[in-house]
Structure formats: structure tokens, C-alpha cells
Structure 1
């Protein structure tokens, strides 16, 4: 088994707890070695931009080292640094983002969060009558935990001598297939629970898949969406097609989760419901730790600024915030609304859902929340 890698919540929280400005870099990687010179030129342009923003040399050099370590590669490198130290870095395979380097009061995490939500936890099972190969991916996982399940029963071929024994040999083979499938179902159920997956993708022998589905516990079948993809165990030439189908299925699952979240928001906006929308109401809910899921558009309709302080709940539409009614006010720091809201959400244990700009069902002013209580 190889370890799972993912964009972990505690790593993002550690980044958001950093005090002081942060450099956020998104850099498009080049897969072919002959493109490395072009990539280096693009990095030098970003480095000059950071220098113009008065970023210290040590921080620029640390980012440059991280960029060079990622080449050659594919997708986009997201790296965040301050005071000569890389605070957090991850590669986003398949991402299509322009090169960006900016120094701001808070890290620009929306592209990372959007990429993570488009790669939800899922399990891929490649099944035959003898067992299965499982690939388990956590939310935002770039590598799978791989596991091979081999059934205890090896009477898997229905070859028989004929005559009176024919039926007995067929039944023994069918029993073996079912026993092996039951073992795979147990392992698959554990894999689903390990990463809280809501998507299971199956490929392989039709009869084995029928038995596997039969033996999946009802609780698991109700928790997950099951889809079939091409190919099976072994090198069958279906790998490329299957990869495309897996990507399409995970994107579809992510889109459905976003739509379901927006439907919940619409339902809970009723009087007495557990939802808020708009800048002021959402920041107020964040300040009171009410938010369970923050919904925020990729880019706000304008360059709105919100204000934040040392504590996760120090958020406001105003530059100064009273800590207690009638008490002294705390001077806050300004930053883009989305960055302030994301920081407050992640540091108070809320989920974040990034919404495509321009959706008709997006929350008012591009920001809203489902709340734990009203």
C-alpha cells in the first residue's frame, strides 16, 4: 500500500494562522523538459513582480526553489510563502490557471479549494471473480491508497467434465465467485468509510460486479453513488478511457454536491431557516461561529474589502469592531471579502463551497452560508 496524499484541512488552517502578509503563487507547470527554459522565464517574470511588491529576497528564492523542484510537471503549482519560508505548497493536476504572484494580507486559497472540491473522495474498484484491486482517494487526493483483495475461494472456473457432475461444478464455481465478492464488498465498505466517500466507481467482470453489489451493506449503498467505468483488472488497454471516465464522474459528483448545497441554501432562506446570504449577514454569522458551510463565488462582483483581526471570529464589514457592547474597539486589517470569509470559515471548522461566478442560484452578493443554528 502507498500512503494517500491530499490537501489536508490542518495544513490549510496552519497557513491561515500565519501572522502577516503572505505571497500566493500559482504557476503553470510544463511537462516536457524542452519547455523548462520557457517555464524559467515565466518564473523570472513572477519573481520581478514579487520584488516590485517589496517581497524580501529570501522569500522569492524559497518560492523559486519550489518551482524548480516541481519541473517538469503538469497542472499548476500552488505555493504560499513568507519570511523566507514555504508555508504550504501543493500541485493541482489538471488545473488551468494563469500564472499569478501576489503579496496580500491573507493567502488566496479559492483556487486550491475549488480544485479540492472538484476532486471528491471516491473509491475505484477493479473487480474479477478472484478478487479486486481497490484505489481509494480522499478529498483532493492526488495519489491513491492501493489495495489488492484476493478471495479465499479459488474454484473460479466453470470448466467441468460434463454429465451428471456438470451442475455440481457450476454451483461450486458460482459459490466461489460469490464468496470472493463478499470479501471484496467488506474491503470496499471499509475503504468508503476511511475517506467518507460518496462515490464508488466499479469496473470489471459483470457477474463479479453483480455479486459485489449484492453484498454491499445497505448503509453503504445509501451513502454512495455507484457508477461503472470501462475495463477491469490487468492491462486491458482501457486505462486511458477509464481515467477520462473517472475524471468525468468525479466532476459530475462535485457539481451535484454544489447544486445540492445551493438547493439547501434556497430552502433554508425562509423565515426561521438556517441560512444567510449577503456580505453583512454572512460575516455576522462567521463572527458568531454559526456557519457550517460557507458559499462564496470564485470572484466577487467587485473588489469588496472585509476586515479581520487575530481571532478567527474577528471579522466585520467595518474597519473597527467592538469586542464587547460599549467596550473598546479592535483595529482590523483589510483584505478581499472572499479571503476574509474563507479564513474565518476554515478556522472555525466550517466547510467551504466555491460557486461558479454568474450562477443564477448563487447567494446574494456572491456570499452566503448554511448555519448550525439561526
Structure 2
């Protein structure tokens, strides 16, 4: 995951007040639960020393709009009376939390976004398609209705040569409409660059569209065995099919990253363990950090490994030793422009953390 969204915050002066609450919008009681969650977070922030101006802007964000429908997480962060981050994420939070300190606590955002990607959903029938683009937070980015201009849409049983002629005209219309949808999708893919394009609908139409899809679009298409725009199509089945494919893609990504880390280790261009990764970050040597969440408890402390970490924004010699801190890790990675991936599959590295280096001058001991 690129941490570009965090870099502007790294240039700001704290302290930062952050809150993560369950903002699910499921029934009429949801808002009262959300207000109660924010009330609890506000009291904790007050006890931690957050100033009133900062609390006020945070409260406005947390108690505002519904922030999406269904199970949702709301994360917001404010500093010195200004709102610096306001984000809704798909799904419930692992836990509700609040913090006030020099480093914003934003690992909940990373957990919510890691492995997610922008994708398009195409619900296709003989007349055209409904196209939606969903971003990594689960929010709808755009919705487009493409209707073809050919209207010989049904095969008819007219008999003899007439029947064959009508059937051919109908199929020509379907292919023409599929071509128009493909052209619109190609423009969208070039503009938005979704990671995957889910294609749902009648088999003949999806086949026609795939045949017409240019390379950039064709490489992203995943055909799902669901009903597209047809009446009675199960939305739950569609969502489940997409989630299975996204989970498969994440597992594939994890496997590739672990293999890449292994290759880098063999080449002497990777390090493992909190202290070694931290030293490499301090010298801006890190290109990509791999972190295994199972190696950390709910308080962000390591389940295994020894030794403490330091505030990662400064060199080890300038800071006292303290507990490992995932949020300080995010902060440091953002400042040096490195990527972070949370690895869901088993990942063997000291302290559950490893880094692939941009370069190694010999001062950092490889893994």
C-alpha cells in the first residue's frame, strides 16, 4: 500500500486527536449507537488532554452524515483545531479506539484499506450495461448507464429463412451493443485504472464484450456467474462472488510479496526484525515493509521477538527506547515514501516484520 495519503499529515505539527468508531448504518438505532460511541471517545480524549477547538472539529466530523450504508467504520483525526483526516471504511472496526499524542493513530485505516482496490462492476444485458466504480473504502465513485442504439434484441420463431434472418439481426444488435459498452469501459479503465472489472450478466453478452475488449480492459475483466441487470438477481450472491475474487487476489499478492522478500533476503537486500527495519527506515533505505498482523496483539505490541523500538521519525541515537509502535512505523514510512503491506498468510520474519531495501551500503545487516 502506498502511504501518500498520510504524507501531508507528516508535515503538520501535533499533537493529534484521533478516533475510530463503529459508524454502521443498518437501522433507526444506528445513529444513537454512533453518538454514544463518539461520546465515549470524546471523554477519553478530554482525559488525555485534547483541547476544546480540536474536539469540536472532530465532533462535527463524527456526528455528521451517515458516512455510507451498511457496516462501516469512521476514522477521523484533528490537530490544533483543524480536521486533518476524515475517512469512512467498509466493514465494522476491529475495535473502537481514541488517542491523543504526537503521532496520529491510523493503523485502523491501514487495516481497513490493505488489500483493497478500486474496482468496477458491470451489469450487462442485451440493451447495454450499468457500470459502477467502487473505491477501496467501499464508497461509490461513479455510476454510468450505457444503452446501445441497436434495438433488434429478440430472436423470433418466424420459420425458414426469415427466422435465420431475424436471429442474425438480433445477434448483430447484441454484438453492436456489447461493443458500445466495451468502448465506454475502455475509456473508464484508462481514466480510473480499476484493479479489476467484474462482469455480470447473460453468457452470450459477456462473451461478446470480452471479444471486443482492448488489452488494458481485457486484462482486468473477471467474469462472474451472476445475473447482471436481470430481475430477481441476488445482490447477496453478487457481493459474495466479488469478495471471493478480491480475497483470492489478496492471497496471490501476499504470496508474491513473501516470495519477493525471500529473493531479496537471498540477495542481501532485505532486513527483518523491528530494530533492523527501524535502522533502515532512518537511512531512507526501505522500499517496502511487510508486516504480519498475527505477530502483534490488539494493543499493537509484538507477540514475539525481543527488544524495544524508538520513535521512528528520528534516529535511534536521538530517542529513548520504548515499546514497538505500529503507528510510528506508518509515520516514518510516509516520510520516506515507502510502501506497507499487511501479510495475512504465515510470514516468517523476526518480530513479524521485514523490509525490502532500495539499496544497502553495508551499514544495515541483511535478514
**Structure 1 length as normaliser, TM-score?**
0.81
Cα 1:225–1:178 change in 2 (3 A) is closer
1:156 corresponds in structure 2 to 153
Number of residue pairs matched?
348
2:302 corresponds in structure 1 to 301
Q: Distance in 2 between matches of 1:197 and 1:79?
A: 26
Q: Distance in 2 between matches of 1:163 and 1:360?
A: 64
1:138 and 2:123 matched: no
Q: What secondary structure, in the 3-state scheme, does the structure 2 residue paired with 1:352 have?
A: strand
Q: Residues 86-97 of structure 1: matches in 2 within 5 Å?
A: 86-97=83-94
Q: What secondary structure, in the 3-state scheme, does the structure 2 residue paired with 1:102 have?
A: strand
1:367 corresponds in structure 2 to 353
1:50 corresponds in structure 2 to 45
Q: Distance in 1 between matches of 2:254 and 2:79?
A: 33
Q: Distance in 1 between matches of 2:140 and 2:93?
A: 20
Q: Residues 180-195 of structure 1: matches in 2 within 5 Å?
A: 180-195=177-192
Contact 1:138–1:195 (CA under 8 A) maintained in structure 2: no
Q: Residues 320-359 of structure 1: matches in 2 within 5 Å?
A: 320=318, 336-356=324-344, 359=345
1:278 and 2:273 matched: yes
1:252 and 2:248 matched: yes
Cα 1:260–1:239 change in 2 (3 A) is same
Q: What secondary structure, in the 3-state scheme, does the structure 2 residue paired with 1:286 have?
A: helix
Cα 1:365–1:23 change in 2 (3 A) is same
Q: What secondary structure, in the 3-state scheme, does the structure 2 residue paired with 1:86 have?
A: strand
Runs of at least 4 residues of structure 1 off by over 6 A? 331-335
Counterpart of 1:105 (choices 89, 102, 107) is 102
Q: Distance in 2 between matches of 1:276 and 1:152?
A: 59
Cα 1:53–1:217 change in 2 (3 A) is same
1:124 and 2:118 matched: no
Q: Distance in 1 between matches of 2:10 and 2:263?
A: 32
1:115 and 2:89 matched: no
Q: Distance in 2 between matches of 1:281 and 1:173?
A: 66
Q: What secondary structure, in the 3-state scheme, does the structure 1 residue paired with 2:83 have?
A: strand
Q: What secondary structure, in the 3-state scheme, does the structure 2 residue paired with 1:14 have?
A: helix
Counterpart of 1:19 (choices 13, 25, 29) is 13
Contact 2:122–2:130 (CA under 8 A) maintained in structure 1: yes
Structure 1: which 5+ residue stretches go unaligned? 1-6, 310-314, 321-330
1:231 corresponds in structure 2 to 227
1:262 corresponds in structure 2 to 258
Cα 1:189–1:240 change in 2 (3 A) is same
Deviations 1:91-117 (A, max 9, x none): 123123322111122112222112112
Contact 1:275–1:369 (CA under 8 A) maintained in structure 2: yes
Contact 1:21–1:106 (CA under 8 A) maintained in structure 2: yes
Q: Distance in 1 between matches of 2:145 and 2:270?
A: 44
Q: Distance in 2 between matches of 1:98 and 1:191?
A: 36
1:207 corresponds in structure 2 to 204
Q: Distance in 1 between matches of 2:156 and 2:28?
A: 53
